[in-house]
Structure 1
Amino acid sequence: MRKAFMISSGLLLTAYALQFVFAAMGGFTKPAGDDAYTLHSVNGMAVIPALSLLTVLFAALAKAPGRLVGLATLPLGLVVLQPVLAMLANGSADATGASTPLGLVIGGLHALNGIVAVHVVAAVMRGVGRLSSDAPAAVREEAPA
Structure 2
Amino acid sequence: MRKLFVGLAALLMLVVVAQFYFAASGAFSTAPNEESFRPHRALGYVIFFLPVLMAIVGALARMPGRLIGMAGLVAGLAIVQVLVAVLAKAFNDTGDTTTTAGQLVFGLHAVNGLAIVAVSGNVLRRARVLAGSAVTGRRAGAGDDAEVPGAAAGTAQPAS
TM (normalized to structure 2)? Answer: 0.81
The alignment status of 1:64 with 2:88, answered yes or no, reads no
Name 1:10's counterpart in structure 2.
10
Q: Give the unaligned 5+ runs of structure 2.
A: 139-147, 156-160
Which protein is richer in helix relative to its size?
1
CA root-mean-square deviation: 2.1
The answer to whether the 8 A contact 2:9-2:124 is kept is: yes
Deviations 1:57-81 (A, max 9, x none): 1211221111111112110110111
CA distance in 2, matches of 1:16, 1:129: 18
Rg (Cα) greater in structure: 2
- The aligned runs of 1:1-145 (5 Å cut-off) are 1-44=1-44, 46-93=45-92, 95-96=94-95, 98=97, 100-135=99-134, 136-137=136-137, 141=151, 144=154
Moved segments of 4+, more than 4 Å: 142-145
Q: Which shows bigger deviation, 128-137 or 82-91?
A: 128-137
- Identity rate of aligned residues, in percent? 36
Q: Larger relative contact order (C-alpha < 8 A, sep ≥ 6)?
A: 1
Aligned equivalents of 1:103, 1:97: Cα separation in 2: 11
Structure 1 unaligned blocks of 5 or more = none
Count how many residue pairs are aligned between Structure 1 and Structure 2: 144
